[in-house]
């Protein structure tokens, strides 16, 4: 947090990731924000000149309500946003936040695409930050990424993945699956917006409980 005045605060949220995201989204027509929370990435995507539609997905209703308020406060055009109060996954999905606890049916990415009516290209972007439920990408939800190849900004929650899967799935399972379907993997770096990696041992990533990795078939280079 950086104090601006006695009554306002400027918030820097995942600063390096946001810089990379601004590069990632610049040629996107569509952005799907799964685990949107208060919509930080969705609001940033709105600034992209080519963006046509932003889909905000969150299992917590209070977060969906917060996004709607943020859109209104910023005087953004509401028709560019679609809100989906649901959970990504297979079978029963649960999530507990300080504001509420939700248990619901999980929906696939195909379900989300069908509801919105959009057609993704490799220039479009999906962000997924769902507190360990990304484990489903190693299974049924992974079929989506075999066919569709949008840029993917994925948050890995190492301990939560193992706990939720009863230690049947690891973050390596997810990383290796996506690596087979995407040519490039990147992390953000304070001196390089994109830094290419080959596996989770690069930059000591395997020892980090939380990390964000970008999967893409676009070559951004090390200093773009």
**SS3 category, 221:** coil
Provide the whole-model pTM.
0.90
What are the distances in angstroms from CA 111 to CA 84, 106, 119? 11, 10, 12
**Measured between alpha carbons, how far is 84 from 171 in angstroms, rounded to an integer?**
26
Whether 26 contacts 48, CB under 8 Å:
yes
Q: Is the pLDDT of residue 211 over 90?
A: yes
Taking only the tens place, the pLDDT of each residue in 117-150 is 999 999 999 999 999 999 999 988 899 999 999 9
Other beta carbons within 10 Å of 218: 19
Q: What is the DSSP string of 20-36?
A: HHHHHTTT-SEEEEET-
Name the E strands within 129-192: 151-157, 184-187
pLDDT top residue among 52 and 8: 52
Say whether 130 sits in a helix, a strand or coil: coil
- pLDDT tens digits for 18-73? 888 999 999 999 999 999 999 999 999 999 999 999 999 999 999 999 999 999 99
Helix, coil or strand: residue 185:
strand
Q: Which residues of 85-105 are buried (b: 16+ CB within 10 A; e: fewer)?
A: bbbbbeeebebeeeeeebeee
Q: What are the structure tokens assigned to 9, written together?
A: 């605060």
* pLDDT of res. 99: 60
Q: Taking the CA of residue 157 as centre, how many other CA atoms within 13 Å lie in the half-sphere pointing to its CB?
A: 14
């Amino acid at each position: 947090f950086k104090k601006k005045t006695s009554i306002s605060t400027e918030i820097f949220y995942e600063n390096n990731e946001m810089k990379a995201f601004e590069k990632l989204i610049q040629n996107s027509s569509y952005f799907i924000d799964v685990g949107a929370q208060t919509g930080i990435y969705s609001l940033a995507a709105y600034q992209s000149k080519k963006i046509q539609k932003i889909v905000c997905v969150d299992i917590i209703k209070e977060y969906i309500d917060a996004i709607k308020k943020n859109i209104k406060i910023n005087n953004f055009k509401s028709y560019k946003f679609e809100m989906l109060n649901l959970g990504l996954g297979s079978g029963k999905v649960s999530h507990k936040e300080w504001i509420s606890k939700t248990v619901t049916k999980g929906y696939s990415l195909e379900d989300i695409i069908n509801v919105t009516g959009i057609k993704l290209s490799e220039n479009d972007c999906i962000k997924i930050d769902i507190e360990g439920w990304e484990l489903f990408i190693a299974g049924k939800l992974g079929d989506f990424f075999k066919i569709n190849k949008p840029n993917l900004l994925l948050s890995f929650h190492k301990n939560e993945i193992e706990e939720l899967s009863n230690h049947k799935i690891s973050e390596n399972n997810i990383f290796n699956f996506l690596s087979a379907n995407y040519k490039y993997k990147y992390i953000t770096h304070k001196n390089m917006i994109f830094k290419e990696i080959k596996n989770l041992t690069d930059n000591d990533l395997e020892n980090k409980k939380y990390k964000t990795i970008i999967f893409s078939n676009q070559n951004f280079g090390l200093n773009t």
